[in-house]
Amino acid sequence: MELRRVVVTGIGAVTPIGNDVTDFWNSLLTGTNGVGMITHFDTTEYKTKFACELKGFDVSKYMDPKEARKVDVCTHYAVAAAVEAMTDAGLSHGTYNPERAGVVVGAGIGGVATTALDIIDFALDNQRPRFSPFFLLKSLNNMMSGNLSIRFDLQGPSFVTSSACTSAAAALWDARNMIGLGLCDIMLTGGSEAGIVPFGIGGFNAMRALSTRNDDIYTASRPFSIGRDGFVMGEGSGMLVLEEYEHAVKRGAKIYAEIAGIGMTSDAYHVTHPRPDGAGARKAMELALKEGDVGIDMIPYVNTHGTSTPLGDASECAAIQALFGDHADTMLFNATKSMTGHLLGAGAAVECIATILEMQNNVVHPTINFEDPDPELPVWDFCIYGPVECDMEYALCNSFGFGGHNASILLKKV
């Protein structure tokens, strides 16, 4: 079935290296490192004491403080990024048919901070049922999409996707399909995450997934480099306005890029380990290219998942090598997570925005902290010396997650 064309007409970002798209983009180009010692809680007893937190974020700029106290921090970030994206798209009440507009947001862990803290209070209070009336409203992930639908009068489909670190990619997939199938004309989509909390850091520490390089935090997130020992936690949100192409043209909207294809697969292998040969990831990229009717020789650049985990980076390289073969030697690769850390369920949205900005400006941002090549990985151009000029019509953005989830988004310059 042929889908209607879907384009991006608005973007918004709240990240550890910038609380709006302009600052985020400038920080990417200058190789700004978003890492620092954790300030959200006392890390004395934790194996990892650093992360990529937001800096100077003020929720009162986007929400009434009284209303903000009723929702989890991940909703704060989602609202902030969504306000920027909708404003960027030139959409406000009365400028679109609300019945033909919806919202779908991705979140891996969502309101876990609220849930866990309130449960601890419950246990310490001898299990007396003295819950806040907002306990469930804060902990339910769908409150992100619910609040956004209310905020912008989006009366179409409204829900949240959850597939670990591909959550935002799954949200983009659903949003694209809603428009492509003719069910909606506009979809607000992306992801949001606020996982720098005791249960996020402690839980991933227990899984040995996080870097513990406490004595050298500024090079801890080192995708594809030797000595990588795990990812660095990040937080924030990325939101995009997707729109049917003719609808966008008719209203004179600014068009950033077209969603030319999205491939999604499952490893069906292990809950935390990716397939060593990257077969599932390779297939996801292949499906994205097939949907866009694009050959491998037309892809000059891939924004990698690049988490800085030993197994994950190796598996992604194997997948790229298997699909692109010798063409990979001529391509550019980078890892946004080297600067932002891993935004979990929001990562795909933020990295998709980074890729769109790169296509718009014909330049690929650098990968920082690459100290020495891993002899077990291919020798490719990871843009380790700074931004690299690249006039690209197409680009791929990869996301992979625990549970064996694989997603690859094919973007086309319009």
Catalytically annotated residue among 76, 247, 342, 365: 342
Asked if 139 contacts 115 with a C-beta cutoff of 8 angstroms, the reply is yes
- CA-nearest of 220, 113, 209 to 165 is 209
Written as one letter, the residue type at 237 is S
Active site residue 342: yes
Catalytic residue among 52, 74, 76, 165: 165
Q: Decide if 321 contacts 315 (C-beta within 8 A).
A: no
Do 317 and 279 contact (CB within 8 A), yes or no? no
Distances in whole angstroms, Cα of residue 321 to Cα of each of 35, 119, 269, 316, 318: 30, 46, 20, 9, 5
Catalytic residue chosen out of the listed positions 305, 317, 365, 383: 305
Q: Residues of 349-388 as b/e, b for ≥16 C-beta within 10 angstroms?
A: bbbbbbbbbbbeeebbbbbbbbeeebeebeebbbbbeebb
Active site residue 165: yes
Largest CA distance in the chain: 64
Can you say how many angstroms the Cα of residue 139 is from the centroid of all Cα atoms in its chain? 20
273 is catalytic: no
Which residues are tagged catalytic? 165, 305, 342
